[in-house]
Structure 1
Amino acid sequence: MHNVRPLPQYLVSRFHGWKATNYEDNSAWYRHLARNGQHPRAMVISCCDSRVHVTSIFGADTGEFFIHRNIANLVPAYAPDGLQHGTSAAVEYAVMALKVAHVIVVGHTSCGGVAGCHAMCSGQAPELEEKSSFIGRWMDILRPGYERIKELPFEEQIGALERQATLISIENLMTFPFVRDAVESGQMTLHALVHDISEGSLWQAEDGGRRWVAV
């Protein structure tokens, strides 16, 4: 493992700062979590984008959210095909093992993944059409969303596709039998949100995604 190097010093310094402040002030809580396990109330599926920080947006404490991040906050449809499915595994664990009460899909403005999907589907990014493109094959999940918005005025398409990324994920979540059972029995609710990075606002889908209202 000759490629493994020590952490950059600025991260080491930040760790020691956290350990001396946040951890020391809440050490009993951290020990409680280690001893008794996690019991998060909600699963949050958000984008890998470094500008989206859901624990800060909601003021969440350690142990409150079970968080899964991926490119463009997408959930694939249920497909027990024996392949590796990190997102599907995270959903299964959250619903079946942790018994979360909510699954919240958080999209955002200026999403590079969504922009890439738009470029790919509109013929502007042939490199993403290659079978070897991990990003392109992942963004195939959002192709049905592009089909829904492609007739809109061009300047409205990206924003509409960012909203579709959350709605497609909600639709795909409902293809998982254990998700559908939990929702239909009233044990769990699903939520689609879009965070405006520039304005700091949060919008939620209502009426099946036909309208979006400010939180």
Structure 2
Amino acid sequence: MREARPLPQYLVQRYHGWRATAFVENRVWYRRLADDGQHPRAMVIACCDSRVHVTSIFGADTGEFFIHRNIANLVPPYAPDGEQHGTSAAVEYAVNTLKVAHIVVVGHTNCGGVQGCHAMCSGHAPELEEKSSFVGRWMDILRPGYERVTPLPPEQQIRELERQAVLISLENLMTFPFVKMAVESGNLSLHGVLHDIAEGMLEQYDHQAGGFAPIV
């Protein structure tokens, strides 16, 4: 692979800094993780967005979360069609092999993927409608959410669509037979939150309340 190049120097320097401090100070813990394998309590499905730092938000240590990230924190419906499904494979591994107790879907404000979905579905991003657009075809998962928010005033639609990205992912998780079985047996619980990047706040979905409410 002739195109691959050595890491940029700033990353090399950060690596040396980490190994000389955080790694050395926790060497026993890292050795334990290496010898005993991973036993995360929760799977976190979050957006690829670099502003969403889920381990910092929840104060998680190395080995505590099984994290999967994709555009707009989406989970597709269960579809064993022989195609390659990265998100579905991660969910299967987390539930069936790692036996996580929780799956947390973390959405966020100012999500570019959600904004792209809204633009695509409203006819303002024809490039995303192309069959060759990986982003567009991925954002098709959120089309039902767009239909739900169209009755709202335009200025409210994006924020509500960000919440729908979380809710639809939770709904789609329940289409996976092994997820449904684990939930119904009490071995797994599903959670949905929306992270406000500017304010550092979290909203969580409350089924009994019928929507999202701030975590206090």
| TM superposition score normalised by structure 1 | 0.99
Task: Name the structure 2 match of 1:204.
Answer: 204
Is 1:124 aligned to 2:124, yes or no? yes
Which residue in 1 is equivalent to 2:65?
65
Give the 4+ runs in structure 1 shifted more than 6 A.
Answer: none
Q: CA deviation at 1:84?
A: 0.1
Residue in 1 that maps onto 2:193: 193
Compute the displacement of 1:2 (Å). 1.4
The 5 Å alignment of 1:165-176 reads 165-176=165-176
| AA at the equivalent of 1:129 | E
Distance in 1 (alpha carbons) for counterparts of 2:209 and 2:93: 26
C-alpha distance in 2 between matches for 1:170 and 1:13: 40
Shift of residue 211, structure 1, vs aligned partner: 2.1
Inter-partner Cα distance in structure 2 for 1:209 and 1:117: 27
Deviation at 1:35, TM superposition (A): 0.3
- The match for 1:44 is 44
- Rounded to whole Å, the distance in 1 between the matches of 2:203 and 2:127 is 33
Give the match's secondary structure for 1:132: coil
How many angstroms apart in 1 are the aligned matches of 2:124 and 2:174?
32
- 1:4-19 alignment runs, 5 A limit: 4-19=4-19
- Per-residue deviation, 1:210: 2.2
Query: What CA deviation, in whole Å up to 9, does each residue of 1:117-140 have, x standing for no partner?
Result: 000000000110000000000000
CA distance in 1 between counterparts of 2:187 and 2:208 reads 19
Q: CA deviation at 1:209?
A: 7.3
**Aligned partners of 1:208 and 1:119: how far apart in 2?**
32
2:3 aligned counterpart, secondary structure: coil
Counting only pairs closer than 5 Å after superposition, residues 62-141 of structure 1 correspond to structure 2 as 62-141=62-141
Aligned with 1:18: secondary structure? Answer: helix
> How much is the aligned-residue C-alpha RMSD, in angstroms?
0.8
Structure 1: runs of 5 or more not aligned: none
SS of the counterpart of 1:95? Answer: helix
Check the 8 A contact 1:72/1:107 in 2, yes or no: yes
Q: Give structure 2 stretches of 5+ with no counterpart.
A: none
Q: Partners in 1 of 2:53 and 2:208 — Cα distance? A: 26
The percentage of aligned residue pairs carrying the same residue is: 73
SS of the equivalent of 1:46 reads strand
Q: Is the contact made by 1:167 and 1:209 (CA closer than 8 Å) also made in structure 2?
A: no
TM-score by length of 2: 0.98
Amino acid at match of 1:159: R
